[in-house]
Amino acid sequence: MSDFFSYLFAIFVVTPLQAELNDRLPSAELMDAARNCVTSEGPRLLEMAEQNWGWAAANAIGVGVGMVDPVTLLSPENADCAKIIRVLRTEETEEA
């Protein structure tokens, strides 16, 4: 059952996260950082989902309906993720 739940979380959260990063990042260098970020953060997110099904369900639904920005699930402690978060926050500030 845990593997099935992890699979669903990956489909509804991790895959859209990677797709959104690919759509929103302007350069190949940042896309490489995004790929590295998701590669390292994906297992952490799946582990969190397995340990806390309520968190996983809330975030899967939130990402699925557009209420949760999947970028907020990334850890700023990871250097590649921090770079991506910084770029996307700057982009959001400029759009506002």
What domain range is 72 assigned to?
Answer: 2-95
Nearest-angstrom CA–CA distance, 89 and 81: 12
More confident residue, 28 or 47: 47
Into how many domains does the chain fold?
1
Does the structure show a pLDDT above 80 at 83? yes
pTM strictly above 0.85: no
Segment 47-74 shows an average pLDDT of 89
Residue type for position 17:
L
**Assigned token pair, 49:** 């989902």
- pLDDT of res. 90: 78
Does the structure show a pLDDT above 80 at 1? no
Read off the pLDDT band of 40 (50, 70, 90). Answer: very high
Reported as a single tens digit per residue, the pLDDT across 42-57 is 889 989 988 998 999 8
Does the structure show a pLDDT above 80 at 94? no
Nearest-angstrom CA–CA distance, 34 and 43: 15
